[in-house]
Amino acid sequence: MEDFLSDRVGRIDASGIRKVFALGASLKDPINLSIGQPDFDVPDELKEAAIAAIRGGQNRYSQTAGVCELVEKVCGLAQAEFGWGGARGLISSGVSAGLLLSFMSLINPGDEVIIPDPYFVMYKHLVNLLGGKCVFVDSYPGFELPVDGIREAVSEKTKLIILNSPGNPTGAVYTAEQVKAVAEIAREKGIIVLSDEIYEKFSYAGRPPSIGEYYERSLVLRGFGKAYGMPGWRLGYVVCDECLHEVIEAMTKIQQYTFVCAPTPFQMAAITALEMDVSGHVADYKVKRDIICDGLGDSFEIVTPKGAFYVFIKAPDGMSGTEFVAKAIKSNVLIIPGNVFSERDTHFRISYATSNEKLRQGVEVLRGLV
């Protein structure tokens, strides 16, 4: 049967995150610190907006690029935030779809894509799927943006630099100085920078810097799933300055033959979402972060995250990340081995997007395993 499969399928592996997620469904009341989805529900105001759109007949295809009012809204916000002259935008079926459309529009076989390591799992596999080459730049042990490493990694084949801040799996938030430095590297060679900012709302020390502020040849990807508790609604967007309008046009063309459009009633609700304040949830998640870091800080080597809702923790001495995760799962705690997100197998990832009670239970179990 394998002879019928395309060669590209062999370039990717099944998601390690989803494997643990599926395992959680088979365990009895596990302490699930594995999956990155908020534990709070969609605000009632947004539920009502989606219901009103459905009842009002907004159930047909939207324009391929998205509902015009929403596209105009995200472009206007980008222009105000980044000082762009004429932003272009596309509404995607989650940031994941935005990543795929971006990569399909830009990456040819043999093109090199620079990715700080650790990284969100999807980057590696999408680049491989398209025949590109990942060039990983190590950011251990502190997970800061490895500016010097990125500079050294640039070659004549470099097509794209990927940034993710606040980041998954580390929770790192890059500084303005670091982001500016990468902008200068990219500007010198005319390289496009793609910035995955799905966790942009979850920054615990104020608004995180964005490459869009410092570099005109940047693609900025943001979404609604994490900030508004609606990951199942599959809604994100991509914006760029007018100098990259051809990229948005290419993404829109590919969307015509793939996703067609993002879900229309949820796009209508997203117009309302852009006006909502989620700072209360962010404050709650800072408390959750502190439960994990304070509870495990004397037993594990931890870099305190400044954003998102993950902690990337070094496994105990003498154990790989995979070995420690296997031990934790036997104790009914679901966490993710670090090699899912890295070329190393030295760490594990905790998602603290769950109840405080579950977090405290998880802390006690993990401390007992050391």
Report whether 152 contacts 185 (CB < 8 A).
Answer: no
So what's the pLDDT on residue 24?
60
**Residuewise pLDDT in 10s, the chain (370 residues):** 457 888 888 888 765 565 665 666 667 788 999 988 899 999 999 999 999 999 999 999 999 999 999 999 999 999 999 999 899 999 999 999 999 999 999 999 999 999 999 999 999 999 999 999 999 999 999 999 999 999 999 999 999 999 999 999 999 999 999 999 999 999 999 999 999 999 999 999 899 999 999 999 999 999 999 999 999 999 999 999 999 999 999 999 999 999 999 999 999 999 999 999 999 999 999 999 999 999 999 999 999 999 999 999 999 999 999 999 999 999 999 999 999 999 999 999 999 999 999 999 999 999 999 8
SS3 category, 80 = helix
Cβ(336)–Cβ(349) below 8 Å: yes
What sign does the dihedral 159-255-42-336 (CA atoms) show? negative
What pLDDT, on a 0 to 100 scale, did the predictor assign at position 6?
85
Q: Which residues contact 249 (CB under 8 A, 6 or more apart)?
A: none
Q: Any idea which architecture 2-42+278-368 has in CATH? A: Alpha-Beta Complex (3.90)
Reduced to 3 states (helix: H, G, I; strand: E, B; else coil), residue 333 is strand
C-alpha distances in Å from residue 109, one per residue of 40, 126, 152, 217? 41, 12, 22, 22
Rounded CA gap, 190 and 275, in Å?
35
Q: Find, among 144, 159, 152, 165, the residue nearest to 211 by Cα.
A: 165
What tokens does 26 get?
A: 């088979």
Residues 44-273, CATH architecture: 3-Layer(aba) Sandwich (3.40)
Domain with CATH 3.40.640.10 in the chain: 44-273
Residues of the chain with CATH 3.90.1150.10: 2-42+278-368
Q: Which residue has the tokens 């980057």?
A: 123
